[in-house]
Amino acid sequence: MLTGDPLQLKTAAPDDGSIHYIGHWTCAGSRRFTDLAYQRCYFTFSGGKAEAWVAAGPDGGICEVLLDGRKVTAADCYAEETRAVCIYQEEGLGEGVIHNLVLVNTGDRNAKSGGTLLETACFKAHNPVDYRAELKRQYFTEYEIIRNNEKTWKPFETWKPVPFRALMPERGVRLTGGIVRRLFDRNIAEIKYDLTLPYYCEGEPNEHVPEEDLRKLPGWSGWLSGSNEGRMLAGAAGSLRWEEDPVLREGVSKIIGDIKARMRDDGYHNYYPEENSYARVHTIEGWIDRTTWCRGDAEYSERKNYDRVFWTRGLLAAMMAGDQDAGVLLRRFYDWFNRQEKYLVNMIRSANSANGKPGGPLVYLSPVGRAGDLITSMRYLEEDFWIKALGDGQPLAPVDYPGDRPHCYTLLSLETIADEYLATGDEKYYKALMGGWEIYHDYYKHTGGFISIGELSGPYCAPGSYYISTHPTGETCGQVFWAWINQRLMQLYPREERYIAQVEETLYNTLVCGKTEGKPGNAGYIPLQGKKGGAGNGNGCCQVSACMAVAAMPQWIYMTSDTTVYVNLFAASTFDSPFGKITLETDFPYSGEVAITVDPLPRAGRFDVSIRVPYWAPEELRVNVNGSFTGAGKPGERVSLNRHWQTGDRLSFTLPYGPRLYKYTGADQAPGKTRYTMLCGPVLMALTDPLCTGDKGPDGSPYVPHIPMEPEDMLKNLRAAPDNPLRFPLPVPAGSPAKPSGERAFVPYWEAPDQGFCCVPFIGK
């Protein structure tokens, strides 16, 4: 990091690389200005002092100033004549740390102002830092350390594993009804269908398959055949954890047999030669990659990283389902992989390399794991600069990550860091895990659940931007990865409701919504207005990750510790817990009525049943046992009941929930209007509107529905349809013009039509 003269401030002009403009700003020469609410800019710097200057004038609005995520002041940018004004200065900041000074247009103004303009004049600091360039410099510096085999790692004898405080069940949960059961059954039906296909999926021939001897598989299956096996294994074997099925069992055995038949004596396994997966090929154009996803000298990076890790997940699922050969094959391959220094030194130097990080830690924490699995990850895939950026809570880190374009796969770095913390207890991993969680949750998470970084998002995924109309920014992959991270935190901190809430939103607002009636497979992108992303039955990353997640989702409903059964989600099911059988009856989210029957084992003694009280509940949750009030808990907490349970003891309660609105603060704003997102319990709601097709109008913007009622009045007048408690026909205000053709109603996102909906409409007069 640069150091500067402590007495001299340097000036960063509006077009300097140390300033990130997020949202819709006008560029006129070196000028940068906007009159829309919630557009923001980041100034990154180091040193002990900083100043923010704006061009105040007759149209100036109110600007909010934040320093390192903390609001420090609000400044009025109005002036009778245009002039540069210092609206904030700070001294005594920590040296050696990159800080963020953020200006946000609030969309407000004083009575004298003619507008809501925010125009930057300059920023001043000891060391303005071009954060994107700084991360890139650190990335290449670390890459050279890895290439030269100079990377250090924490010795095995110093590791202090961190135990979970509660454990998710690996078996013993059976879904008995409701929307979660229907999703689970549909996933199984699709897996069985794919088992009948020659290549396990449908799709067009892949144009990226150059090998003459490679099977000509459809879609990604030819290019990434390992992930295709991983998808099928994790889907079929993951389902077998909960209930036996001869067709799925036969499918798992066949795939394991195929792997066994082609695995070399040294452990290499894939359909294509290793040099076409790991080695680099020199051409007259230099070191290139044959896939359009990759750049530079990272030959076949999708194979060496993505393909390997999803194949690993599939074999781990097969192990959990009782296939003994799966663990043997996985161990043999990683024994080979850990010896391949000639390839490993280039593993991180590739596009989308983050998708290769979880493999070694996942294997190490499995029954067949060895220390070398994790050490390989530490030596060749771990990036200390990235771990530090996450630990420092740098909100620009995900969008400026230099290993690739902005991509939801950077979340797999956080999953890896979680496993490294569990394995070693190292404080640096803990700090990065918690700091990274805060970054993604606070700056990149749409209301309703999805991480607003998608593979094709490009510049449309900056912190707090949350684009909706300009570009769809949610992707199924990212939301599944987010759930995987949070399921680790659920087990570390079982009483922290916020981690369970993230998984719940993944279930209802991504996995259920990714299915299209009559079409196999899963949708990739999650647009919030216009047209849904169609379901695909290829071997794309979203189909792979969703298939795995749905098969494993029964494990999210319950957890256990030495003293407690935790009820996390409200899905009709039974659980053969270590204390006895738990039966949960409900039709949630279509009903808030829940009943739990406890049939303890004779040796169980006293134990706790701990029921989650969701954050979205508007009031406390009151629980009866055998008809008598026994305990209550506040939203975001738990109700824990400790007793010597008797056979047939019955807990009952009603989950309080109803429609609620959240103001949209992302970049896609319109002057004088406010957008809102509606949730009902955890469920993201969509407003149906036949005019909302996603097509752009004459002004270049798509149509966004407008409800001409004050938000409070609209909520008061909403009434659920008699035949569907999650359908709310839109009330028509008195004196309104004729409504558009077709009924407008708020419905769960999964019930929204393939086109003609909006999850973030304008609401207000």
Separation of alpha carbons 415 and 403, rounded Å: 17
Q: Which of 73, 99, 129 is the last residue of a domain?
A: 129
Q: Which two tokens stand for residue 691?
A: 């005019």
pLDDT value, residue 735:
47
Same domain, 303 and 451: yes
Same domain, 249 and 284: yes
Separation of alpha carbons 396 and 390, rounded Å: 10
Alpha-carbon distances, residue 159 vs 422, 426, 489 (angstroms): 10, 8, 20
Same domain, 166 and 260: yes
What does the H/E/C string look like for 120-138? EEEEEEEEECCHHHHHHHH
User: Rounded to the nearest 5°, which phi and psi values hold at 173?
Assistant: -105, 135
Separation of alpha carbons 248 and 289, rounded Å: 36
Strands (E), 58-98: 62-67, 70-76, 83-91
Give the residue among 13, 15, 33, 14 at the shortest CA–CA distance from 24: 33
Alpha-carbon distances, residue 677 vs 509, 635, 660 (angstroms): 13, 20, 8
Is the peptide bond prior to 589 cis by the omega test (within 30 degrees of 0)? yes
Residue 577 in domain: yes
Q: How much is the mean pLDDT over the chain?
A: 90
Q: What are 81's strand-pairing partners?
A: none
Same domain, 151 and 188: yes
Same domain, 373 and 245: yes
- Helix and strand numbers (H, E) in the chain are 18, 34
Residue count (the chain): 765
**Exposed (0-12), middle (13-18) or buried (19+): which is 305, by Cβ within 10 Å?**
buried
Q: Is 678 helix (H, G, I), strand (E, B) or coil?
A: strand
Indicate if the pLDDT at residue 215 is higher than 50. Answer: no
Tens-digit pLDDT profile for residues 84-143: 999 999 998 887 889 999 999 999 999 999 999 999 999 999 999 999 999 999 999 999
Helix axes 411-424, 384-391, angle to 10 degrees: 90
pLDDT value, residue 246:
98
User: Rounded to the nearest 5°, which phi and psi values hold at 194?
Assistant: -65, -30
Separation of alpha carbons 89 and 68, rounded Å: 14
Residue 5 in domain: no
Indicate if the pLDDT at residue 627 is higher than 60. Answer: yes
Residue 2 in domain: no
Give the residue among 217, 214, 210 at the shortest CA–CA distance from 232: 217
| Cβ atoms 406, 20 nearer than 8 A | no
The contacts of residue 420 (CB under 8 Å, 6+ apart) are 361, 374, 377, 378, 382, 426, 429
**Which segment of 227-236, 288-297, 595-604, 716-725 scores lowest on mean pLDDT?**
288-297
Q: Which of 490, 521, 556 is the last residue of a domain?
A: 556
pLDDT value, residue 298:
42
| Cβ atoms 44, 126 nearer than 8 A | no
**Exposed (0-12), middle (13-18) or buried (19+): which is 604, by Cβ within 10 Å?**
middle
User: Rounded to the nearest 5°, which phi and psi values hold at 305?
Assistant: -115, -65
Helix axes 427-443, 384-391, angle to 10 degrees: 60
Distance of CA 95 to the CA centre of its chain: 33
**Which segment of 157-171, 373-387, 447-461 scores lowest on mean pLDDT?**
447-461
| Cβ atoms 367, 327 nearer than 8 A | yes
**Which segment of 513-517, 648-652, 760-764 scores lowest on mean pLDDT?**
513-517
Separation of alpha carbons 673 and 36, rounded Å: 10
Q: Which two tokens stand for residue 743?
A: 């009924």
Cα angle 699-737-687, degrees, rounded to a multiple of 5: 65
Q: Which of 80, 104, 129 is the last residue of a domain?
A: 129
Query: Looking at this protein, which amino acid is placed at residue 402?
Result: P
- Half-sphere exposure (Cβ direction) of 249: Cα atoms closer than 13 Å: 11
pLDDT value, residue 271:
78
Q: What is the band of 733 on the pLDDT scale with cuts at 50, 70, 90?
A: low
Pick 203 or 448 by higher pLDDT: 448
Q: Is 290 helix (H, G, I), strand (E, B) or coil?
A: coil
Separation of alpha carbons 221 and 544, rounded Å: 11
Separation of alpha carbons 85 and 200, rounded Å: 64
Separation of alpha carbons 353 and 361, rounded Å: 15
How many structural domains is the chain composed of? 4
> What CATH number should be reported for the domain holding residue 568?
2.60.40
Tens-digit pLDDT profile for residues 549-560: 999 999 999 999
**Which segment of 57-66, 205-214, 494-503 scores lowest on mean pLDDT?**
205-214
Q: What is the band of 301 on the pLDDT scale with cuts at 50, 70, 90?
A: low
pLDDT value, residue 219:
52
pLDDT value, residue 5:
45
Give the residue among 615, 617, 648, 643 at the shortest CA–CA distance from 630: 643
| Cβ atoms 503, 184 nearer than 8 A | no
Q: Is 43 helix (H, G, I), strand (E, B) or coil?
A: strand
Q: Is 309 helix (H, G, I), strand (E, B) or coil?
A: helix
**Which segment of 569-578, 696-705, 739-748 scores lowest on mean pLDDT?**
739-748
| Cβ atoms 595, 651 nearer than 8 A | yes
Residue 727 in domain: yes
Pick 521 or 299 by higher pLDDT: 521
Residue 613 in domain: yes
pTM recorded for the entire structure: 0.94
Residue 1 in domain: no
Q: Which two tokens stand for residue 529?
A: 């207005």
Q: What are 695's strand-pairing partners?
A: none
Instruction: State in Å, rounded, how far the first CA of the chain is from the last one.
Output: 51
Separation of alpha carbons 499 and 211, rounded Å: 45
Same domain, 630 and 674: no
> What CATH number should be reported for the domain holding residue 359?
1.50.10.10
**What proportion of the chain, given as a percentage, has pLDDT over 70?**
91
**Which segment of 316-330, 486-500, 656-670, 731-745 scores lowest on mean pLDDT?**
731-745
Separation of alpha carbons 72 and 68, rounded Å: 10
Residue 322 in domain: yes
pLDDT value, residue 742:
59
Same domain, 515 and 601: no
Which string of DSSP letters, residue by residue, matches 433-501? HHHHHHHHHHHSB-TTS-BS--TT-TTTT-TTT--SSS----BHHHHHHHHHHHHHHHHHSTT-HHHHH
Same domain, 49 and 164: no
Give the residue among 226, 228, 237, 448 at the shortest CA–CA distance from 337: 226
Residue with token string 């896609």: 668
**Exposed (0-12), middle (13-18) or buried (19+): which is 63, by Cβ within 10 Å?**
buried
Separation of alpha carbons 206 and 223, rounded Å: 7
Pick 385 or 407 by higher pLDDT: 385
Indicate if the pLDDT at residue 283 is higher than 50. Answer: no
pLDDT value, residue 585:
98
**Exposed (0-12), middle (13-18) or buried (19+): which is 16, by Cβ within 10 Å?**
middle
Same domain, 356 and 407: yes
pLDDT value, residue 204:
47
Q: What is the band of 285 on the pLDDT scale with cuts at 50, 70, 90?
A: very low
pLDDT value, residue 324:
92
Q: What are 748's strand-pairing partners?
A: 685
Helix axes 541-552, 178-195, angle to 10 degrees: 130
Residue 450 in domain: yes
Give the residue among 493, 336, 504, 481 at the shortest CA–CA distance from 408: 481
Separation of alpha carbons 573 and 586, rounded Å: 9
Same domain, 649 and 663: no
Give the domain extent around 670.
Answer: 659-763
pLDDT value, residue 179:
97
Same domain, 640 and 697: no
Same domain, 327 and 462: yes
Indicate if the pLDDT at residue 157 is higher than 90. Answer: yes
Average pLDDT over residues 505-532: 85
| Cβ atoms 25, 667 nearer than 8 A | no
